[in-house]
A and B are shown apart, each in its own frame.
Chain A
Amino acid sequence: MPRQLHLNVNILNAGVFGGSWRFPGTDGTASYTIEHYTSIAKKAEEAKLDAVFLADSPLLDPSIRHRTGNNLEPSTVLARIAAETEHIGLIGTLSSSYNDPVEVARRLGDLDYVTGGRYGWNVVTTAGAVAARNFGRAEEPAHALRYERAAAFTERVVADWAARTALVSPQGRPVVVQAGGSSDGRRLASRIGEVIFSAEQDLDKARAFRTEIREGAVAFGRKADEVVVLPGLSTVIGSTEAEALERRELLDEILPDAYARWRLAGQLGISLDGLADDEPIPAELLVDPDVAGGSQTFYRVVKAIIDAERPTLGQLLKKLSGSGGHRIITGTPEQIADDIETWFQAGAADGFNVMPDVLPSGLDDFADHVVPELRRRGLFRTEYEGATLRSHLGLGLPPAPTSAGFPVPTLEVASR
C-alpha cells in the first residue's frame, strides 16, 4: 500500500474564520456546548480521520465581543468524547508555561489510559500578558525562557509516563504533538515532537521545513519517520468552484472588521489605528521574527506574506480573513484533493490538520466529499487498522528521553 495521508480535524470552536460563527444556517453559540464537540468527533470518526485536535489557551481572549473563542478545557472535553467514540484519536493542547509538570504527567497519562490509548498532548508555550496575569505574573515571559521550560517540562512528563508500572495505556504513552514554528520551537519539535502541527503558506517552504525537522530528529538520535508533519489547512469547499468562491466571499463579508484589525495588530505587534484599508502595511516597522515577542509562528507567516506581496491593509485582512495565518484553500472536493495530493507527494506534508471554515458544515463537506475522493486515489484509509492514536499515525513507541531529571525552570518574572 502506498504511503497514507494523516488527517486531523481542528475543532477551533465555530470554525477558523473570524466570521464563522455568523455563517448563515449556523447556530452562533453552538461552540459553547459540549454537543458541538462530541458530534463533530463522531462525524470525524465515521470518516476515519486520525484525530480531533483542540487548541487551548488559559485565558479569555480580549476579542471575545466579536468572535467566539475556545471555551471548554481540552482534557475534560476529550475524556467526554472518548466516552462517546471508540477509535478516533484525541489531541488536546496544554500549556507548558502555566501548568505544574507533576500534575500534567498524571492527568494526561490517565487521560491516555481512560481513552484506551487515543490521546496526544499538544505541548505549547503560552504567549501574552493576558494569560500571564491569570498566573501571578504581570507580563509574558521571554520567548527563549518559555521554550527552555517547555523542553525540560516535556521531557520530564514523558519520562514520568515511561516510568509508569500501573495505568499504562494500550499505546504505551501519549503521542507528543508540537506546534511552534519559531527557531526555538523547531528545535523542540526535532528533539521530542512526534506530530508537528505547522503553519505553512508555500509548498517549497513547507518541504524545507519538513526536511529540517526530519534531519533535526536524526541529529537528536531519532528516526526521520518517527515524526509526522501536519501543516494546518483551512478549507472552503463548494460543489462547484464558483460556489466555493462565493462561500469564501461570504466569509469575508461576515468577518467582524473590528476583530480582524485587532487580531492583525496583535500578531504584528504594531498599531494599525488610523491606517486606512487602501494604505500599505508599514513593513519597515516589523522586526525580525526571531526577536519578536508573542507567537513567532504566526508573526513569521504574516510577515512573509507582507514581504512578498506588499499588500494594503484591506488586502491583507481579506487574505487572512481572521484565520490567523494558516493556508486557506478554496475549491471543489476534487481541487482540494488535488492540492492535498500535490503537497503530500512533494514531501511537503505527511497529512494535514484540517481547519474547516465553518463547523460543523465545513467538516461535513470535507468528510462527505473530500475524504472519498482521497480514498479513490488510494491516499487515505477506508477502515481503522488499530484502536490507538499511535496506530493511526503509524508511530511506534520511541525510547523515553534520557536527559530527564534536570530541573524544569520556572517562569520567574520580576513582578512583585
Chain B
Amino acid sequence: MSTPVQLTLAVGEPAGPGLVSLAEADAIAALAARVGIAAIRIADASPAGSALDPTVVAAYLAGRHPGLGFVPELSTTHQAPYNTARRVLSLDRATGGRIGLALKAGEGDEVSDANAPDPTASDPAARWAEYALVLTRLWESFPREALIGDQAAAIVVEDSLIAAIDHAGAYYRVAGPLDGPSSVQGRPVLVADLFDVDAVAATADVVVVDHDRASDADAALTQALQGIGRSRADVALFGRVPVRLEAAALAPALAADLRAWRDERRLDGIELVPGGDADEVSTVLRELVPLLAERDTAAPSTLRAAFGLPEFEAVAA
C-alpha cells in the first residue's frame, strides 16, 4: 500500500538546522520529486531564522519542479480571505492542480477588521472555520466549465454559471465571485492542523495531527465528520513527526516504527518535519522516504490524487 508522504521545509536565512536556503530548497525539491514525496509543505516561520513567504516560495519552486505538490502555510492573520482565495487558486491553476493550503488559525487582518460584521467576535477556531468556508466557496464560485472562449459568438465566459457567494458571518463579509476559474483538481486541497476537530471537520480535506496527540485522532475525526454528514473516507488523516536522521543506517528501523505507528493510529499519510540541515534533509529523502512512500514511479496527476483523496465534491453552502 502506498502512503502519501509530505515533507515540511522552512526556507530562508540563515541556512542551518531547521531552515534551508532557497538554493538548497531547490535541490531538495528535485530529490523529493524523485523519491516519491507527494508534497512539500512550506512553513510560515522557523525558530532558526527568517522564513520566506510560503506562497512566493511555492510559486517559485513549482515553476522548477512541475511534478511535485506544494502546500504553503498561511495564517488568517493579516490576510483578507478574498486575497488568500485568489492567490492560492492562482497557484493551483498555474501548477495544474498540485497545490494545497495549510490554513493556520490566527487573528484578523487590518482590511477586514475595520468593517467586521461582529467586532467583538474573537475565537480563533470559529474564525478559522468561517475563513475556510469562505475560501472553499470562493474556489467554486467560477466553475471551469464557464470559461468557453467562443470567439465567433464574442462570449468569453458563460456568466450565468458564475455566482457571487454573498457571505456574511461574524468575522467576514465577502461578496465574490473570484476572477478566475476553478482548477483541474476542483479546488486547492485544504489542509488543517488538528487544533479543534469540530472547527476543521466541515471543510478540511487533510487533517494533520502531531505525533504525541495521534492516539485518539482517528476516532475523534470520524465522530466529528459523522456529526455533519461527511464520511471519514472524504478526509485524509496525516500524522506529523519530527525526524532526525544523522546516519543512513538508522533509516530502516525508523521506517518500520513509522509504518507501525501509521497502521496503529489509522493514519492515511505522514508528514515529516526534518530538524536537521539541508544535508540531513537529503538523507531523510534518500534513505527513509522510499521505505515509507512505497509509491509507483509515476507521479499522480493532481495533489488530490497524490494524497489519495476521493474526487472533488463541492462543500454545501
Chain A: residues with CB nearer than 8 A to chain B?
19, 21-22, 26-29, 32-34, 38, 58-61, 64-73, 75-77, 79-84, 98-103, 106-107, 110-111, 113-114, 130, 133-137, 166-167, 254, 256, 408, 410-413, 415-416
A56 to chain B, nearest CB (A): 9
With A106-B53, A135-B115, A137-B115 as contacts: A75 and B87 at CB distance below 8 Å:
yes
- Residues of B in contact with A, size category: 35 or more
| CB of B236 within 8 Å of the partner chain | no
B148-189 Cβ-contact flags toward A at 8 Å (1 or 0): 011100111111001000000000111111111100000000
* B87 CB contacts on chain A under 8 angstroms: 73, 75-76
Are B56 and A70 in contact (CB-based, < 8 A)? no
Are A80 and B112 in contact (CB-based, < 8 A)? no
* A254 CB contacts on chain B under 8 angstroms: 154
| CB of B277 within 8 Å of the partner chain | no
| 10 extra A-B contacts, CB within 8 A, seeds A28-B151, A133-B174, A133-B175 | A27-B149, A32-B180, A76-B90, A77-B90, A80-B63, A84-B64, A100-B79, A103-B109, A134-B175, A136-B173
Give me the 5 closest cross-chain CB pairs, A-B, nearest first: A83-B63, A79-B59, A28-B149, A133-B175, A29-B149
B59-101 Cβ-contact flags toward A at 8 Å (1 or 0): 1111110000000000000111011001100110110000000
Measured CB to CB, the nearest residue on chain B to A67 is B156
A53 to chain B, nearest CB (A): 17
Are B159 and A79 in contact (CB-based, < 8 A)? no
Separation of A83 and B59 alpha carbons in the complex (Å): 8
| CB of B241 within 8 Å of the partner chain | no
DSSP class of A's interface residues: helix, strand, loop or mixed?
loop
Are B109 and A65 in contact (CB-based, < 8 A)? no
Separation of A70 and B156 alpha carbons in the complex (Å): 13
B111 to chain A, nearest CB (A): 5
Measured CB to CB, the nearest residue on chain B to A66 is B154
Measured CB to CB, the nearest residue on chain B to A18 is B154
Separation of A32 and B79 alpha carbons in the complex (Å): 24
Are B156 and A64 in contact (CB-based, < 8 A)? yes
Are A136 and B156 in contact (CB-based, < 8 A)? no
Out of B59, B83, B91, B114, name the residue touching A412 (CB < 8 Å): B114
* A107 CB contacts on chain B under 8 angstroms: 53, 55-56
Separation of A408 and B143 alpha carbons in the complex (Å): 37
| CB of B305 within 8 Å of the partner chain | no
Are B55 and A64 in contact (CB-based, < 8 A)? no
With A80-B94, A107-B55, A110-B52 as contacts: A411 and B114 at CB distance below 8 Å:
yes
